[in-house]
Chain A
Amino acid sequence: MTGDDELMREFLLESSENLNQLDRDFVALEQNPGDRTLLGAIFRSVHTIKGTSGFFAFGKLEALTHVGETLLCRLRDGDMVNDSEITSALLAMVDGVRRILASIEATTTEGDEDHAPIIAELTRITRERDAANTAPAAAVAPTPPVAAAAAVVPTPPASVVQLVAAPAVGMPHVDAPVDAGAMKGPAITDSTIRVDVGLLDRVMNLVGELVLARNQIMQFGTASKDGGFIKASQRLNLLTTELQEGVMKTRMQPIGNVWNKFPRVVRDLAHACNKRVNLELDGTETELDRTIIEAIKDPLTHAVRNAVDHGIEGPEKRKAAGKSDTGTLLLRAYHEGGQVNIEVSDDGGGLDIERIRARAVERGLVTADRAARMSDREVAHLIFHPGFSTAEKVTNVSGRGVGMDVVKTNIEKIGGTVDISSRFGHSTTLKIKIPLTLAIIPALVVTCCSVEHAGRVATTHRFAIPQVNLLELVRLEGAHARKGIERLHGTTVYRLRGNLLPLVFLSKALEMATAPSDSDVINIVVLQADDRQFGLVVDGILDTEEIVVKPLGKELKGISAFAGATIMGDGRVALILDVLGIAQRANVVSASRERAMVDKNSHAQSDAEPREALLLFRVGPTSRMAIPLSMVARLEEIAADKVETAAGREVVQYRGAILPLISLSRDLLRESRIDDGAPLQVIVYAEQGRSVGFVVEQILDVVEEKITVRNKTARDGVLGSAVVQGKVTDLLDVHGVIRRNDPSFFGRSDAA
């Protein structure tokens, strides 16, 4: 077969594409049984494969496609009408052909599989459904397959003979492409060409190196006084940018390439689960870098399977709920803000938040207390936890609780984020965001200084932060630096436009020894990871540049703080920060806090929790209390004369709405608030679009401590007490206090 190796390769390649197209076409045909164009296209594809298999003397392949072709012939001629059973049988044939082709590719032989069952099924259907059994509309097949077919088909020889009778009328098989040389795929326009993927990768690498070289030249260029050199380097700069953009485009593929498998997947799955699902695709032409396409194949498949298996209900249940009996699964893709957004939504039953909450407590993933305090969104995110599943039974399809965890991990591995939202009883939407490309990214370069050898050697380290994580830059000088930062014991926060922004010192996150700085300037890089924001404090901020991301060696891959490394314009290496990794290391991201809670060794009886950030405050003259920082929306200072009374309660006009106030000293201690005209310290708590302000005497501190709640008392308004910073501190029962003062707070929920 040596001389035909090239032909064989082409055969395999084109057949593979044809099979994928057949998958889609058969599913489409099932929904439009009378579509003659579709039937024609399908028939041609199968016919082509059969013809070429004859040329290569692949007997089994030929036999299999032969019976399929016979059936298709009947359909095409109108002797039979397509239905579910026929479609399933034909799809089984497609799978069989795929397996044979795989075997041919691997071993150049057709493999040992016995296709008799499939052939038998197809033959049976053909025989049974055919209205006019006497008109043998079969193609002439060369003798060997006839013998093979006769051998494997367990039907009376009479029908076999019938199937392979002399050429029947209306059979355009005469130009059967036995000559593989004449076998071409469907007419492709001349404006596209096939390129080997390895070649594209090499070109991409070269362009990456060119980008680095260009960066170096630009460095010389800015320092140079030579007009000619500057002009030439600018031209080089322009050309390189355009070349880079052009090459990146060659690697871009439409997401349809991943999606085109889904009609078949959804159909098979829906059948298996006895559900009816309508798949809609929006944005199939949205383009992604090839590397990303590879990475999202699995996660998307998982998400789709989950939606069909768990999300969408069976027809009866849907009808009972007043929905149509066919569920809709919508896949959307679009570009936004330098990222690709992919949404998987279904109009199924949605997430049962309370059931998830209960299941999580049952599994020991979170303590009952923490679970009660979690917002709906946080509870929804629990489903991404490894091993979590509320499925009552583990089906073949899903339920083992593996799927969603895989989705999240794989997406995060390529620098993306996953979010889930749902309306119980109505819908669930999974939102995935991924950066447009992984190889060349714009990044902000920052510096951090460290000292070694007892302060003798000072080194300035450079780090690159991917711009996709960057929200804004804040520079504080002098008095602003001192005032803006609540540099308190344990944790540091900065009030950014009223919101508390946790701060992470880069030098501390990287465990670098630093010298006390006498600089009056604080540089904060506001970053976003996993939908949480935090501020990274660095020593200096340099330029934004385009950098080529190079992977770290396997010995360093495990360090979660770094996403890779790059070569800067001066030829030196700089590390690229992994923003999510740094956030998790600094315990700024709640996901890591929750993961920390899964430690099963923690004492189950007491409410022992890992380090949590707490806001300490004073109520009345001496009572110390605490509230988890995560529950604090804002800290406000409100002038005493702004407090008004409405319906017997104290309120204040705040941000265009009316904020009810609860004076904790009055509520808990039965002491009147001391009205000395000083501004009120208010801790604002918000949930589901409604807010309430707790009036306290004084905000004391923000700490991060491992707290063990002792004394779970029955005292109103207090969850228990703990020792924080060496003093006995009561933990505020936020929900309890609110409920006591306004029972309807949690009942009504405004449109979010």
Chain B
Amino acid sequence: MAQTRQLCTFQLDNLLFGIEVMKVQEVIRYQEMTAVPLATSVVRGLINLRGQIVTAIDMRARLGLEDRADGELPMNVVVRTADCVVSLLVDEIGDVVEVDERAYEGAPETMAAAFRELVPGVYKLEGALLLLLDVERVVALGSAAGIPKSEAA
């Protein structure tokens, strides 16, 4: 009996990412955001989630990818970690996928260190590579101002 796990997947800049499904609270369409001046550029703004104020993190900025094209609205993947609820802004939502642990491989050494910190490894699927995202690290902004674009994988 092979070990499997379920990942909630989404797209960013034509890359496929996955998050442990148990950490995902919900997935919703684009929400109007209130910008937060003085916050790092990774924080796109605040959304009103049924009365709760949730910080929205732009995953493209967080991973050092190119900005979204004008007019393209991101979707919200609301994740719940040990002590906070945060919304991750992504391009498109994918399905919940069941992956085989045997298809997992650690991130290649050639991947930029900063990227590797958020993406510990990859699942080799049929015809696609699914990058695993470490949610705890993603939401731990601390002094991280996002990965500089030049360092992206």
Residue positions of A touching B, CB distance < 8 A: 209, 212, 450, 459, 461, 510-512, 550, 552-556, 559, 561-562, 565, 567, 571-575
Which residues of chain B are within 8 angstroms of A450 by Cβ–Cβ distance?
A: 37
Q: Please give the distance in Å from A743's CB to the nearest CB on chain B.
A: 51
* Contact indicator A550/B53 (Cβ below 8 Å): yes
Q: List the B residue with the shortest CB-CB distance to A463.
A: B37
Which residues of chain A are within 8 angstroms of B53 by Cβ–Cβ distance?
A: 550, 552-553, 565, 567, 573
Q: Please give the distance in Å from A27's CB to the nearest CB on chain B.
A: 42
A-B contact pairs, 8 of them (CB 8 A): A553-B54, A553-B55, A555-B55, A555-B86, A562-B36, A565-B53, A571-B48, A572-B34
Q: Please give the distance in Å from A510's CB to the nearest CB on chain B.
A: 4
**A234–B121 alpha-carbon span in the complex (Å):** 58
**A555–B54 alpha-carbon span in the complex (Å):** 11
Known: A554-B83, A555-B86. A212 touches B51 (CB 8 A): yes
Known: A572-B34, A573-B46. A559 touches B39 (CB 8 A): yes
* Contact indicator B38/A559 (Cβ below 8 Å): yes
* Contact indicator A556/B34 (Cβ below 8 Å): no
* Contact indicator A555/B32 (Cβ below 8 Å): no
* Contact indicator B55/A209 (Cβ below 8 Å): no
Determine which residue in B38, B43, B84, B139 has the highest number of CB atoms from chain A within 10 A of its CB, and name it.
B38
Which residues of chain B are within 8 angstroms of A573 by Cβ–Cβ distance?
A: 33-34, 45-48, 53
Known: A555-B139, A565-B53. A512 touches B37 (CB 8 A): yes
Does B35 lie at the interface of the complex (its beta carbon under 8 Å from any beta carbon of A)?
A: yes
Known: A511-B37, A559-B36. A572 touches B55 (CB 8 A): no
Which residues of chain B are within 8 angstroms of A459 by Cβ–Cβ distance?
A: 35
Does B112 lie at the interface of the complex (its beta carbon under 8 Å from any beta carbon of A)?
A: no
* Contact indicator B38/A511 (Cβ below 8 Å): yes
Does B153 lie at the interface of the complex (its beta carbon under 8 Å from any beta carbon of A)?
A: no
Q: List the B residue with the shortest CB-CB distance to A212.
A: B51
Q: List the A residue with the shortest CB-CB distance to B70.
A: A453
Does B141 lie at the interface of the complex (its beta carbon under 8 Å from any beta carbon of A)?
A: yes
**A562–B83 alpha-carbon span in the complex (Å):** 21
Which residues of chain A are within 8 angstroms of B84 by Cβ–Cβ distance?
A: 553-555
Which residues B60-79 have CB closer than 8 A to chain A? Answer: none
Which residues of chain A are within 8 angstroms of B46 by Cβ–Cβ distance?
A: 552, 565, 573, 575
Determine which residue in A512, A561, A573 has the highest number of CB atoms from chain B within 10 A of its CB, and name it.
A573
Which listed residue, A556, A561, A567, A571, touches B43 by the CB 8 Å rule? A556
Q: Please give the distance in Å from B29's CB to the nearest CB on chain A.
A: 15
Q: Please give the distance in Å from B51's CB to the nearest CB on chain A.
A: 6
Known: A555-B139, A567-B48, A567-B53. A575 touches B36 (CB 8 A): yes
Q: Please give the distance in Å from A252's CB to the nearest CB on chain B.
A: 25
**A511–B46 alpha-carbon span in the complex (Å):** 18
Q: List the B residue with the shortest CB-CB distance to A565.
A: B53
Which residues of chain A are within 8 angstroms of B38 by Cβ–Cβ distance?
A: 510-511, 559, 561-562
**A554–B81 alpha-carbon span in the complex (Å):** 12
Known: A512-B37, A550-B53, A552-B53. A572 touches B48 (CB 8 A): yes
Q: Please give the distance in Å from B79's CB to the nearest CB on chain A.
A: 12
Which residues of chain A are within 8 angstroms of B141 by Cβ–Cβ distance?
A: 555
* Contact indicator B35/A461 (Cβ below 8 Å): yes
Q: List the B residue with the shortest CB-CB distance to A456.
A: B70
**A512–B48 alpha-carbon span in the complex (Å):** 23
**A512–B83 alpha-carbon span in the complex (Å):** 31
Counting from the closest, the 4 A-B pairs by CB-CB distance are A510-B37, A573-B34, A573-B46, A553-B55
**A559–B51 alpha-carbon span in the complex (Å):** 22
Please give 13 more A-B residue pairs, beta carbons under 8 A apart, in addition to A561-B37, A562-B36: A461-B37, A511-B37, A550-B53, A552-B46, A552-B53, A556-B36, A556-B39, A556-B43, A556-B55, A559-B36, A559-B38, A567-B48, A573-B47
Known: A571-B48, A572-B48. A555 touches B34 (CB 8 A): no
Q: Please give the distance in Å from A681's CB to the nearest CB on chain B.
A: 40
Q: List the A residue with the shortest CB-CB distance to B83.
A: A554
Which residues of chain A are within 8 angstroms of B32 by Cβ–Cβ distance?
A: 572
**A574–B47 alpha-carbon span in the complex (Å):** 10
Which residues of chain B are within 8 angstroms of A461 by Cβ–Cβ distance?
A: 34-35, 37
Which residues of chain B are within 8 angstroms of A212 by Cβ–Cβ distance?
A: 51
**A511–B37 alpha-carbon span in the complex (Å):** 7
Which residues of chain B are within 8 angstroms of A209 by Cβ–Cβ distance?
A: 51
* Contact indicator B43/A555 (Cβ below 8 Å): yes
Which residues of chain B are within 8 angstroms of A567 by Cβ–Cβ distance?
A: 48, 51, 53
Which residues of chain A are within 8 angstroms of B52 by Cβ–Cβ distance?
A: 550
**A574–B85 alpha-carbon span in the complex (Å):** 18
Which residues of chain B are within 8 angstroms of A559 by Cβ–Cβ distance?
A: 36, 38-39
Which residues B18-43 have CB closer than 8 A to chain A? Answer: 32-39, 43
Q: Please give the distance in Å from A479's CB to the nearest CB on chain B.
A: 32
**A571–B34 alpha-carbon span in the complex (Å):** 11
Which residues of chain A are within 8 angstroms of B86 by Cβ–Cβ distance?
A: 553, 555
Q: Please give the distance in Å from A624's CB to the nearest CB on chain B.
A: 37
Q: List the A residue with the shortest CB-CB distance to B34.
A: A573
